[in-house]
Structure 1
Amino acid sequence: MTHFSTIGLIGHLNNERAVYSIKRLIRFLQLRNKRFVLEAETAARIVDTDLLSAAHQIVDMDTLGQACDLVIVVGGDGSLLRGARALAKYAVPLLGVNRGRLGFLTDITPEDIENKVDEVLSGQFKSEKRFLLDMEVRRDGQVIATADALNDVVLHPGQFIHMLQFEIAVDDVFVTSQRSDGVIVSTPTGSTAYSLSGGGPILHPTLDAIVVVPMNPHTLSSRPIVVAGHSAISIVVGEHNRAEPMVTCDGHSHVDVQTGDTILIRKKPHMLELLHPLDYNFYERCRSKLGWGGHLLKE
C-alpha cells in the first residue's frame, strides 16, 4: 500500500465549482485524518475559517512542492498545467479533479471525488510520466527570456494576423524555412490541445517525441513532423512587416521576439508524474472527449 503522508491542494482561482470541490476534499481528508497543505492563492478563495484552520499549513507553490508527497489539483487542464510547471522539479505526483471543460489531464469527476481519491490514497492508481519543454529566447548570443511548458511552445504573430518568416533546425541541422501564421512545438501531452486544432497528430502521452506543427503555412507541402524527444529544436525569426511576433508557453508565458532572435526548445531534464484512477484509459479519453465512434459490432 502506498502511503501519502502530506497532501497538497490547489484549486482554480476563479471557479466557484472548484472552490466547492476543494471544500469537499478538505472535509474528506479531515475524516481520513490526513495531513494536508493549502496553496496560498487557493486558500485565499476559501472564506470558511474552520476549513482553513484544519490545514496543516498555507504555503506558496514552491514550499508546497517541498512539503507534500501528493498534490491534488482541482480545476481544468489549465489548472493542472499551472501546477505541473511549478511542481515538476520537486518530483511530487499530481492528481487531477476536473472542474473545467474538456478535462484531458484532470481525470476525476466531481461526483466521484471521495471514492476515487480514497482509492488513490489506498494505493489503487496508475502512474504515468510526462515530460515538459524548456524554452529560451536568445538575442545577439544572450539569453533574454526563459519559460517552460507541459503542452506547447507557440510562435505566433501576436495581436495582428500577419504571416511570419522563420527557419527551423533540429539538432543544429537545417530543416526548413517557412512563411506561415507561426509554429506549434508540442509534447505528447499537448498533442490533444492546440496542436490538434492546428492539424497535428495525436501522440500517446508516454511517447518520447516532440511534434512540430506549422500554423496555416503558405505552401501546401508544409506538414507536421515528429522528432525524437531528445532533439534540440531551434527557430530563427525572419523578417516581418507589420507583425509583432511573440512566443507563448502553455498559453501562459508570453515573450516578444524580434528579427534574428533564436527560440531554442528542448526537453526538461526532470519528468512530471501524473496519477490516474485504475479505470483510466487514454483511448477511451480520446473517444469521450473528441467524439470518436464507439464499437460497431455488438457481442
Structure 2
Amino acid sequence: MDVAVGIVAQRDNERAQALAASLVDALEREGASVVVDDATGGAVGTSAVPVAAMAGRDLVVSIGGDGTLLFVAREVGSTPILGINLGEVGFLNAVAPDDALGVVTELAAELDETGSVEERELTRLRATGVEADWTLEPALNEIVVHGPRRGSGGGATVGIDIDGQRYAESHADGVLVATPTGSTAYNLSEGGPLVHPSAETLVVAQMAATEPMPPLVVEPETEITLTVSETETAYAISDGRNRQRLDPPAEVSVSLANDAVRLVGPQANFFDGLDKLE
C-alpha cells in the first residue's frame, strides 16, 4: 500500500494514544507509511514528527475533540483530515472510536487504489492589517477584533464596513466574523445565528455593543473591514489562539483564506451535534 498517513492524538489522553497505537498497527500491516505526532511517539513507540511535518501526506487522522482537529488544521493546511471523536459534541469529528479502525483502513485502501477520496471543504478566514504589515494564521472558526479586555471599561469603538459601506459603529467588547463551522462556537455564545455547514456564508456579529445592530449574514467574498478606535490597545485574534496587537486607530481586513480545510470520511450529523450544546 503506497499511502502516507499521519496520526495526531489528543495530548495527555490515554484513550487517544491507545487508539493511535491500534491504527498504527493496522495501517502498517497493510503496508502504509505511518507517523504519529511527536507528543504521542513515546507512548506509541513508532516514528514521530511535529504535526506541521505531516502537511502533504495523503491523510492525517485527528483523534480527540473539535479542539484537536482545529489544531491539526492549523498545522497541516489543506492536507486531507479525518476526525475521530473523543469529545462531547463533535461537529467536525464524525467517526466514533469503535468504528475508527474500519473507516481509516478503508480510506487508506481507497486512496491506494484510486488516489483520492470524497471530501468536503471548510472555509477559512484570514485577518490582515490594512495599513500594517501583518497577517494572522487562517481561522477555521472565527476572527475576533476586540479592545484590551472584555467587560466594563475594556472595550473599544469598532466600525464595521461591508463592501465599503458602513453597517454599524458602536462601543463594544468587540466584533467577530465567523464561518459556518464557527457559527456553533464563539458566535453562538454572542447571540449570532446558527449556520448550516452547507451554507456558503459568513456571519458578522457585535459583542456586547452599546448601540447594537443584528448579526449580519454575508457572502464569503464580501469585503469586510473592522475599524478600531477610542482605545489605547486592541487585538485581532484567529480561532482564539493566534493574536496580533493593534495600535488604534487601526483597520483590519477579514477575507477568505487561500486554502480551505479538507475533511474526508463520514460527515457528522449537524442536528445531533446541536442537541449536545449546553
Which TM class, normalised by the smaller chain length? 0.7 to 0.9
Contact 2:136 2:242 in 1 (8 A): no
Distance 2:221 2:14 in 1: 41
Matched, 1:7 2:25: no
Contact 2:89 2:273 in 1 (8 A): no
Q: Which of 95, 100, 104 in structure 2 is aligned with 1:117?
A: 104
TM-score scaled by length of structure 1: 0.81
Q: Deviations over 1:81-114 (max 9, x none)?
A: 11112222xx321000122333221122223221
Q: Which of 50, 59, 62 in structure 2 is aligned with 1:70?
A: 59
**Percentage of matched positions with identical amino acids:** 28
Cross-structure match for 1:207: 199
Read off the aligned partner of 1:257 and give its amino acid letter: L
Runs of 4+ in 1 over 6 A off after TM superposition: none
Q: Which of 163, 180, 191 in structure 2 is aligned with 1:188?
A: 180
Contact 1:136 1:147 in 2 (8 A): no
User: Displacement, 1:225?
Assistant: 0.3
Moved more, 102-111 or 266-275: 102-111
Moved more, 203-212 or 27-36: 27-36
Pair 129,92 (structure 1): closer, same or farther in 2 beyond 3 Å? same
Distance 1:47 1:182 in 2: 42
Moved more, 205-214 or 152-161: 152-161
Q: Which of 160, 164, 185 in structure 2 is aligned with 1:168?
A: 160
RMSD: 2.4
Look up the SS of the partner of 1:146 in the other structure: coil
Matched, 1:94 2:81: yes
Matched, 1:157 2:144: no
Matched, 1:36 2:34: yes
Look up the SS of the partner of 2:136 in the other structure: strand
Distance 1:276 1:156 in 2: 36
Matched, 1:281 2:269: yes
Distance 2:181 2:104 in 1: 23
Cross-structure match for 2:254: 265
TM-score scaled by length of structure 2: 0.87
Look up the SS of the partner of 1:120 in the other structure: helix
User: Displacement, 1:175?
Assistant: 1.9
Q: Deviations over 1:188-222 (max 9, x none)?
A: 11111111111111112232211011112213x51
| Structure 1 gap segments, 5+ residues each | 292-299
| Structure 2 gap segments, 5+ residues each | 112-116
Pair 266,61 (structure 1): closer, same or farther in 2 beyond 3 Å? same
